[in-house]
Amino acid sequence: MYDLVIIGGGAAGLTAAVYAARAGLDFVILEQDGWGGGQITSAHTVENYPGLPNISGADLGEAIKSHAVSLGAKIVFAIVDEVRNCADYKEILLHSGDSVRAKTVIAATGASPRKLGVDGEKTLLGRGVSYCAVCDGAFFEGKDVFVIGGGDTAVEDALYLSSICKSVTLVHRRDVFRAPKTRVELLREKDNVNIICNATLNKITGEERVDGADIQTADGNRHMAASAVFIAVGSEPATAYLSGLPLDFDNGYVVAGEDCKTAVGGIFAAGDIRKKQLRQLVTAVADGANAVAGVTDYLKD
């Protein structure tokens, strides 16, 4: 029986590990990709993490992970199917058929890319359709590509791709961007970037590989050739494995306060899966620390 099982090895989970190690807890991190680092590892650059004005997401993810591991954190490859709240412990059921017991759980499984659900999105995934510009952008060097979305991710992806690809067409469903004005302006200044507002992606075309997309604008539907479509329309929380618990959810996000306490004693929600105002790296790491404070309090009782 562990004191604590941390589910998810992203920024929130790894920060929780740093704090749990320093608090002398017996704990393990369960991570489904076996490697850890989380969503931040797909960010090209991170410019808003205090003290590190220009670091790659991969380097920052790796640094947080190394910090946790250097303090003794153990990251175990495991897919969690369910968490059960038993009388004296929590039971974590794994996809492998095994289970793990712990006095407390920090759920820090983050979020995964939102899908558009258009034709071609699923069938051409990995063959021109991508949710990660940093991971896949280099495959499209010198090519024409689309980016879909109007948030930070879409604009940062478009900026990154504009330095690699022949042209980038950003398609956004409104004419107001969630991304900061300064970054949108920077994008507008790029010679090889075309921004189409008030438009939606209707269909991704291609047989073996992406060869274009149908874009719906006020003037009608038009087909444009391209080699790749990078979809950056936000993310959805990975909370399905918690659905059997009497937790409160809001649009799939776990309702928990800044202290990360959920409606079930001993179960904490940290990082992007928690309902909150601002989902950023800094708020994820803050959650990791707060959740462990909650865990140590709970274990005292």
- Where do contacts with ligand NAP occur on this chain (CB under 6 A)? 43, 48, 114, 116, 149-154, 156, 173-174, 178, 200, 232-235, 279-280
Q: Which is nearer to ligand NAP, 104 or 130 (CB)?
A: 130
Give the side-chain half-sphere CA count within 13 A for 101: 5
Strands (DSSP E) contained in the chain are 2-7, 27-31, 75-77, 80-85, 90-94, 99-107, 111-113, 129-130, 144-148, 167-171, 193-196, 200-205, 212-217, 220-225, 228-231, 235-237, 249-250, 253-254, 267-269
For the purposes of burial, counting CB atoms within 10 Å of the CB of 119, is it exposed (0-12), middle (13-18) or buried (19 or more)?
middle
Residue 75 backbone phi and psi in degrees, to 5: -105, 120
Q: Which is nearer to ligand NAP, 166 or 178 (CB)?
A: 178
- The distance of closest approach from Cβ of residue 56 to ligand NAP in the complex, given in angstroms and rounded to an integer, is 12
Q: Which is nearer to ligand NAP, 57 or 266 (CB)?
A: 57
- The distance of closest approach from Cβ of residue 184 to ligand NAP in the complex, given in angstroms and rounded to an integer, is 11
Q: Which is nearer to ligand NAP, 166 or 190 (CB)?
A: 190
Alpha carbon distance 5, 75 (integer Å): 10
Nearest to ligand NAP by Cβ — which residue?
151
Alpha carbon distance 162, 295 (integer Å): 45
- The distance of closest approach from Cβ of residue 76 to ligand NAP in the complex, given in angstroms and rounded to an integer, is 27
- Residues with a catalytic annotation lie at 132, 135-136
The tokens for 131 are 């949710």
- The distance of closest approach from Cβ of residue 74 to ligand NAP in the complex, given in angstroms and rounded to an integer, is 29
The 10 Å Cβ neighbour count of residue 229 is 26
Q: Which is nearer to ligand NAP, 154 or 187 (CB)?
A: 154
Ramachandran quadrant class, 189 (left: phi over 0; alpha: psi -120 to 50; beta: rest): alpha
Ramachandran quadrant class, 282 (left: phi over 0; alpha: psi -120 to 50; beta: rest): alpha
Q: Which is nearer to ligand NAP, 116 or 145 (CB)?
A: 116
Cβ 6 vs Cβ 75: under 8 Å: no
Residue 90 backbone phi and psi in degrees, to 5: -105, 140
- The distance of closest approach from Cβ of residue 116 to ligand NAP in the complex, given in angstroms and rounded to an integer, is 5
- The distance of closest approach from Cβ of residue 139 to ligand NAP in the complex, given in angstroms and rounded to an integer, is 21
Residue 9 backbone phi and psi in degrees, to 5: -110, 40
